[in-house]
Amino acid sequence: MPFVRIDLIRGRRPDEVRAIADATHQALLDVLDIPERNRFQIITEHDADHVIALDAGLGFERSDRLVMIQIFTQSGRTTEVKQRLFHTIAEQLEPLGISGEDVFIGIVENGPQDWSFGFGRAQYTEGDLAVPGR
């Protein structure tokens, strides 16, 4: 059950924003094999001068088409799966006019005890939901 935050530079049309969210979710479905309704996304648009994303010394420039994605998910996925997810997200965003240098992704992992889906309860640890991958 990933929780995804997508940060964009302000200026895209609403249909473009939705297409980015849809493409990101499709990559999660394809690679992580999650249920389709496990969709939890927050999309935030920022003024251009409120986003700083350099190249970390890799030798490329980013544009105002930058998409920064944080994926909060349960631990346990292999490095290979994460790399495939990174690749698939970038591949899904490319037809939307977002080039590879403008795709920045980070994964934050935690455990089933760290999630509440409502009512102030921990549904994984209380047994209401099956823990993914177990």
- Give pLDDT tens digits for 75-97: 999 999 999 999 999 999 999 99
According to CATH, the superfamily of the domain at 3-126 is Macrophage Migration Inhibitory Factor (3.30.429.10)
Question: How is residue 40 written in tokens?
Answer: 């939890």
Q: By three-state DSSP, how is residue 31 classified? A: helix
Q: By three-state DSSP, how is residue 133 classified? A: coil
Q: Which of 2, 14, 35, 132 is catalytic?
A: 2
Q: Helices in the chain by DSSP H: which ranges?
A: 14-32, 79-93, 123-126
* pLDDT, average across residues 40-44: 98
pLDDT in tens, 92-128: 999 999 999 999 999 999 998 999 999 999 999 998 9
Reported pTM: 0.92
Examine the residue annotation and report whether 2 is marked as an active-site residue of this protein: yes
